[in-house]
């Protein structure tokens, strides 16, 4: 859908940070979230059915000013939660604007995606870490990515580690896209980009092997 016409449910697409996404909607819709009782942010690593039910409850609270702004930020969202949002995103309460950010667009159900207008966010992707990784030797790269499968990582919530690995892949993707623009004759770059995108897709599955993907990219990049 067009970004120009005012809609009621938006998907923010891009590699920016949460802060950048919030600033984007403040500027586009001319409001301030600071001290605003009609602004609500639900921030989750993984959004489940209980989170979306809570969001729906908030949507029916009466706005104290002209409009309510409900913002869901998550890196992963379950199928059940997406189905739960269908009716809300299609026909929300009057004067309610809904925003979804963080989850990859490819992870959305087509039925949910069709209800969303797209806002594009050009942010600062985590390219420093990617550039550092690409400057290392293969053995140093393998050691570098081992942190995603180390003892410390396993003691951290799986969703958080997957989120960090996804950001790492996004940084690699952006660096390689920049190199492709600068050197379009580099034959192997398109395939390397496809490999990164495939890894990003696998990160969204249940219990992906981050160690295997990290080591694979260490060699082929």
- DSSP per residue over 178-211, as a string? HHHHH-TT-TTHHHHHHHHHHHHHHHTSSS--HH
Q: How far apart are CA 91 and CA 153, in angstroms?
A: 41
* Residue-level pLDDT at 1: 36
Kindly list the distances between the CA atom of residue 105 and the CA atoms of 52, 156, 163, 211, in Å, as whole numbers in the listed order. Answer: 18, 25, 15, 24
Average pLDDT over residues 174-192: 82
Residue found under tokens 């594009």: 120
* Residue-level pLDDT at 116: 94
Kindly list the distances between the CA atom of residue 30 and the CA atoms of 5, 23, 26, 66, 101, in Å, as whole numbers in the listed order. Answer: 15, 10, 5, 12, 19
Residue found under tokens 């639900």: 42
Q: How far apart are CA 148 and CA 145, in angstroms?
A: 6
Q: The pTM is what?
A: 0.62
* Per-residue three-class SS string for 2-20: CCCCCCCEEEEEECCCHHH
Q: Given the DSSP bridges, would you call strands 9-14 and 39-47 parallel, antiparallel or unpaired?
A: unpaired
User: Of 6-10, 28-32, 89-93, which gets the smallest average pLDDT?
Assistant: 6-10
Q: In angstroms, what is the C-alpha Rg of the chain?
A: 19
* Residue-level pLDDT at 110: 93
135-168 residue pLDDT tens: 999 999 999 898 887 555 555 567 778 878 888 8
Q: What six digits make up the tokens of 197?
A: 């995108």
Query: Do the beta carbons of residue 51 and residue 76 sit within 8 Å?
Result: no
């Amino acid at each position: 859908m067009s970004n120009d016409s005012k809609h009621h449910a938006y998907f923010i697409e891009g590699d920016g940070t949460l802060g950048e996404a919030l600033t984007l909607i403040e500027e586009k819709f001319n409001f301030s979230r600071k001290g605003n009782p009609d602004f609500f942010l639900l921030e989750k690593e993984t959004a489940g059915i209980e989170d979306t039910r809570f969001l729906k409850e908030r949507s029916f609270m009466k706005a104290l000013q002209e409009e309510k702004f409900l913002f869901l930020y998550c890196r992963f969202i379950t199928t059940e939660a997406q189905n739960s949002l269908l009716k809300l995103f299609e026909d929300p309460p009057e004067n309610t604007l809904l925003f979804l950010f963080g989850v990859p667009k490819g992870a959305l159900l087509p039925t949910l995606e069709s209800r969303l207008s797209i806002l594009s966010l050009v942010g600062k992707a985590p390219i420093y870490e990617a550039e550092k990784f690409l400057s290392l030797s293969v053995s140093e790269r393998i050691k570098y990515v081992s942190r995603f499968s180390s003892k410390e990582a396993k003691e951290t919530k799986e969703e958080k580690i997957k989120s960090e690995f996804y950001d790492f892949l996004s940084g690699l993707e952006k660096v390689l896209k920049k190199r492709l623009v600068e050197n379009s004759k580099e034959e192997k770059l398109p395939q390397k980009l496809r490999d990164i995108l495939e890894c990003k897709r696998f990160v969204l599955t249940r219990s992906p092997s981050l160690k295997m993907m990290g080591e694979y990219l260490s060699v082929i990049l």
